[in-house]
Amino acid sequence: MNRSVFRDAFSKGDQDTCLKSLESALSGDDTLVQYLNDLLFTAACVDWKKKPCDHPAIVMNSLKNMIGENRETPSKILLKFGLEILASQPLRKDDDAVLNETTRSGIGLAVFVGDLEDALQECKWNEAKLFAAKTFLASDRSRAVIDALADLALQNTNRNGAFVFHLLRSFHFQELKEDIWNYVCSLLNIIEQHRLPKPHERKTVEPHNTYKSILINNQSDLWVTFSSVWRLWIGENVRLKSYQREISHWLSVLDLDANGSLDLNQDHWLLKDHKESGNRFIALAESIVKQDKPSLDRGRDLVILESLRALARMDSNECTTMAAARLEQRFES
């Protein structure tokens, strides 16, 4: 099924056609990729007014990662949950308005990324969106604006860190050029909700020497943000040094309890059963989805599970052991 069919059907509330896309995705071939990409794109188009940490884009990318543990026989329960968490969400309807107007009127005087950054720092939201459109068109509709906005959003890593990571990964999944502007608008939508602090200086602290303090603390929202920004830290991006600068500042100002403790289980399956760990994660994700709880709460738990999964797979036996302990405590006790 062509990827545009799902998007058109979803925007019209055509649930039957959306379910047909889901059934096709169960074959595990290219239709699975198309279906997941459409879910990711739709999540990025949600008109979100709540905290960034609960954004459907975070849940959807986490869901995609869990489904990816078994691509040959994808979980119908998880695929269906992707539809469920989007079902009642309003979508932005004016993404193309400023872009179309800018195209008609012409780009005009040269606009630089610095102009966009200044407008956002000064909370000039309408001006910022215009500058974003002009910069986007001047760059031949490249992803450069996404990277610039992600950089800015990380000036408030505590609020935006998880969202930035999961939105970037959502776009990276297929990197369709025709989708770039909608991802730009998603970042603008989040940034304009809260005034940005000024850029920070880089600190010496890094994720690999902080994970112990993070996982000792029983704060699941902290695990989620940390798991997200650690993956940003070790990723590849033209603005990686800027990302690391803001992440290092965030790590340096965290108020962590240094006296916490964590019961470790050296016999946990995550430390032994590497071949079956993917299916075990899927089973845990399915058990979360099946719970009689609001979709928002189940989505939060799914994101926590995915975050611990990522931490468990970092190149550190100690981090794996601690993540396994948190996993057992949170989802298996």
> What pLDDT is recorded for position 88?
84
Q: Residue 315: pLDDT band by 50, 70, 90 thresholds?
A: confident
Helix (H), strand (E) counts: the chain: 17, 0
> What pLDDT is recorded for position 311?
98
Q: Residue 1: pLDDT band by 50, 70, 90 thresholds?
A: very low
3-class state of residue 331 by DSSP: helix
Angle at 264 between CA 263 and CA 268, to 5 degrees: 130
Domain boundaries, the chain: 3-87, 95-191
**Do 61 and 174 meet the contact criterion of CB atoms below 8 Å apart?**
no
How far apart are the C-alpha atoms of 167 and 162, rounded to whole Å? 8
For residue 305, with 0-12 CB atoms within 10 Å meaning exposed, 13-18 middle and 19 or more buried, which class applies? buried
In the block, residue with structure tokens 């902080």: 210
> What pLDDT is recorded for position 109?
57
Q: For the chain, state the CA radius of gyration.
A: 20
**Do 10 and 19 meet the contact criterion of CB atoms below 8 Å apart?**
no
Q: Residue 107: pLDDT band by 50, 70, 90 thresholds?
A: low
Tokens of 303: 């994101």
How far apart are the C-alpha atoms of 153 and 243, rounded to whole Å? 10
Q: Which of 218, 217, 239, 244 lies closest to 229, judged by CA?
A: 244
Give tens-digit pLDDT for 129-152: 999 999 999 999 999 999 999 999
Question: Is the pLDDT reported for residue 31 higher than 50?
Answer: yes
> What pLDDT is recorded for position 103?
86
> What pLDDT is recorded for position 15?
93
- Angle of helix 76-87 versus helix 56-67 axis, rounded to 10: 170
Q: Please name every residue paired with 46 in a beta bridge, in sequence order, or none if there are none.
A: 91
Tokens of 59: 């849940």
How far apart are the C-alpha atoms of 231 and 248, rounded to whole Å? 13
CA dist list (Å): 40 to 37, 63, 79, 139, 286: 5, 10, 12, 24, 19
Higher pLDDT, residue 104 or 2 = 104
> What pLDDT is recorded for position 108?
59
Share of the chain above pLDDT 90, in %: 89
Model confidence, pTM: 0.96
How far apart are the C-alpha atoms of 9 and 199, rounded to whole Å? 42
> What pLDDT is recorded for position 242?
98
Give tens-digit pLDDT for 240-256: 999 999 999 999 999 98
Question: Is the pLDDT reported for residue 312 higher than 70?
Answer: yes
> What pLDDT is recorded for position 2?
44
Give tens-digit pLDDT for 168-211: 999 999 999 999 999 999 999 999 999 999 999 999 999 999 99
Q: Please name every residue paired with 91 in a beta bridge, in sequence order, or none if there are none.
A: 46
Residues in the chain: 333
**Do 311 and 230 meet the contact criterion of CB atoms below 8 Å apart?**
yes
- Range 96-99, long-range pairs (CB < 8 A, 24+ positions): 96/181, 98/129, 98/130, 98/133, 99/133, 99/136, 99/137, 99/181
Question: Is the pLDDT reported for residue 3 higher than 70?
Answer: no
CA dist list (Å): 332 to 125, 262, 283, 285, 327: 45, 15, 11, 12, 7
Q: How many CB atoms lie within 10 A of CB 77?
A: 15
Q: What number of CA atoms fall less than 13 Å from residue 87's CA on the CB side?
A: 13
> What pLDDT is recorded for position 117?
95
Give tens-digit pLDDT for 33-70: 999 999 999 999 999 999 999 999 999 999 999 999 99
Q: Name the average pLDDT for the chain.
A: 94
